[in-house]
Amino acid sequence: MTTPAGPAFMAKLTKNDHHMAEHVNEIREHIISDGALSAKVKTLMTLVCDAITAHEDGCRNIANRARALGATEEEIAETVQVAFLFGGMPALVTACAAFKDE
């Protein structure tokens, strides 16, 4: 489960260990920002990781974050394919949460 500010666990961490939460956010922002790889590509990579670790809500939210960074539906579809290649059928089922509900 996530909140608009991020994963629900971060709200708990912030409440219980604000100092640690600040460090986690600083590290996350440093890693996920544009570098040799764009923030969009890094975000799509996190979609693969969430699919492989069976975080359906994470896949949905990360896909929306990737869209906000300019990812196309075709890029998301290819990311779902990569999740399947490395995570098999369970990752494919989870990654399908990235597709928009019509």
Distance CA 53, CA 21 (A): 22
Distant-in-sequence contacts of 86-90, Cβ < 8 A, 24+ apart: 86/48, 86/52, 87/48, 87/51, 87/52, 90/54
Q: What are phi and psi of 80, to 5 degrees?
A: -60, -40
* Angle subtended by helix axes 73-95 and 39-52, to nearest 10: 20
Please enumerate in sequence order all residues whose Cβ is within 8 A of that of 65, keeping only pairs 6 or more positions apart, or say none: 43
Q: Where in the chain is the domain with CATH 1.20.1290.10?
A: 36-102
Helices (H), 5-100: 8-16, 18-32, 39-52, 56-68, 73-95
Higher pLDDT, 100 or 3: 100
* CATH numeric code, 36-102: 1.20.1290.10
The verdict on pTM exceeding 0.75 is yes
Q: What is the mean pLDDT of the chain?
A: 91
Which residue did the predictor score with more confidence, 75 or 9?
Answer: 75
Percent of the chain with pLDDT over 90: 83
The 10s digit of each residue's pLDDT in 25-58 is: 999 999 999 999 999 999 999 999 999 999 999 9
Q: Could you read off the pLDDT of 9-24 as tens digits, one per residue?
A: 889 999 999 999 999 9
